[in-house]
Structure 1
């Protein structure tokens, strides 16, 4: 039976490219057929997997320039059953797309907020007075560009081919080694791997975060990322997302998690997983 993979649409987004990479990886390694399902937002993509409308969901979690994708973190905190199956790290190379004759003619630029932020320095150098309009994805506005030749969009080379929009400049991201990490999530238990992601809230007492961090230190578990997010209940009330370089199948990790439960208000183990590097496929056409 083919596996359905939800992703942020419409076609041409970087998340769709990540979903295609994962789909190809399933075919090459497990001879597993799959098909992609586009959703209009990251939250709806995750909910599709949580509600069994799709078998898996591919979502961005962190960018090397702009940091964590907060919508992904906030939605995963609300959902209870999704587990990370794999992670993918893909290079992101932004292009300026438009039907305008030259860059100087562009007055408005559309794109996802992450993409706009990843190209901020380029925009300030080349179009400092342009109006920036955020969209739900990097391809949402491309179909509108034909009617407005003073508008442009920041998107991918692949999207330019799909929607037949000329590329005026590429690459325009502020750092040449721009990468995004994606998570593949589903309702199945995680397969295990060298990385583990957790989310937890702590009791409202002084030094509440010190003890959880000390537990990892005592067990010799390295933390590769820690991020706070507001609980949205009251000002100054936070929860924490932590990435560990360890596998929950290891006994010392299980001991650390057992102790951690005594020092957290809510603890969610999002899964242990391996990371598929950006070199697993040729992404030149994505």
Structure 2
């Protein structure tokens, strides 16, 4: 049996690094071999699972410096058929990759918007006059560097090794404790479910909209969890894209969806929400750098 896994490409992205870790973990845990399938965007990685082009996707959801990855959240809300199987937490260390001989020779810096934001302070200090150009991934522009000696890319040291490119500066992220959380996502009706331990899941992720933007509209759903002693590890709002001032709320809970408290909470929550989606119950694995 071989499992196909979608991830943001080209090879060398942090998403691919997380996927490689997960693929190794999976084969050690279950004996199941994997094949990695790079896609041009996070949304396309998730759509690949929904359209059964792949069985799984590994996508970033949250960074400790820059917060939520909105494309992941928005796409997960739009696609009805997906569920979270596992979370992976990976440390992120950015490098500046370029053929320039020194920083003074750099005129443009390319990278994913999250990576550019995570290095904003460093860039303002050492490259205050360069043009910052966002790309679909940290590795998308690496192959252009040899023909443009005034360009640089923010990516991982692993990416530099894969493409045999020179590193001009290491550890350029603004905060040393820089981590990204990824979700392993499958179709909700997938037959195989070997990602949660026999002890159950440690987290559940949901999202909901409220019927009206009135006082207490958010308070009432949150009180449901407080009264049952269920801790929220994250809450994030995103626009519904229907009308200005209307929001969806994404919530991570430190509880298994199968517990009596969570079952009771979700039953009560339906009274205060317009749309309620349960994305999945899962455990969290920490990743060591490759």
Give the TM interval when normalised to the shorter protein.
Answer: over 0.9
223, 236, 247: which is aligned to 1:227? 236
> Which residue number corresponds to residue 205 of structure 2?
197
Kindly indicate whether the alpha-carbon contact (under 8 Å) linking 2:21 and 2:287 is maintained by their aligned counterparts in 1.
Answer: no
The alignment status of 1:267 with 2:276, answered yes or no, reads yes
Answering whether residue 168 of structure 2 is matched by residue 160 of structure 1, we say no
- 1:91 matched to which residue of 2? 91
Q: Distance in 1 between matches of 2:64 and 2:219?
A: 27
Aligned pair 1:122/2:131, yes or no? Answer: no
The equivalent residue for 1:277 is: 286
Aligned to 1:245: 254
Matched, 1:135 2:135: yes
SS at 1:172 equivalent: coil
What displacement does 1:239 show? 0.5
- CA RMSD between the two structures: 1.0
Partner of 1:49: 49
Structure 1 residues 153-207: Cα deviation after superposition (integer angstroms, max 9, x where no partner): 0001111011121000001000111100000000138645110100100011332
- Structure 1: state its 5+ residue gaps: none
TM norm structure 1: 0.96
User: 1:198-249: CA deviations, max 9, x gaps?
Assistant: 0100011332111100000011000010000000111000000000000011
**Distance (Å, rounded) in 2 between the aligned partners of 1:252 and 1:154:** 45
Task: Confirm whether residue 29 of structure 1 aligns to residue 37 of structure 2.
Answer: no
Question: The residue matched to 1:200 in structure 2 has which SS?
Answer: strand
Structure 1 residue 104 displacement after superposition: 1.2
Give the distance between the partners of 2:277 and 2:10, measured in 1 at CA: 31
Q: Secondary structure at the match of 1:20?
A: helix
Alpha-carbon distance in structure 1 between the residues aligned to 2:30 and 2:179: 26
Runs of 4+ off more than 6 Å: none
Distance 1:277 1:95 in 2: 22
Task: Give the deviation of 1:115 after TM superposition.
Answer: 0.1
1:151 to partner: Cα distance: 0.3
| Distance in 2, Cα, partners of 1:118 & 1:210 | 32
Aligned pairs, number: 281
Q: Look up the match of 2:227.
A: 218
SS at the partner of 1:128?
coil
Q: Distance in 1 between matches of 2:106 and 2:255?
A: 48
**Cα distance in structure 1, aligned partners of 2:230 and 2:103:** 50
Mapped to 2, the partners of 1:6 and 1:141 lie a distance apart of: 20
Q: Determine the C-alpha separation between the residues in 2 that align with 1:278 and 1:21.
A: 7
Alpha-carbon shift at residue 278 of structure 1 (Å): 2.5
* 1:143-154 alignment runs, 5 A limit: 143-154=143-154
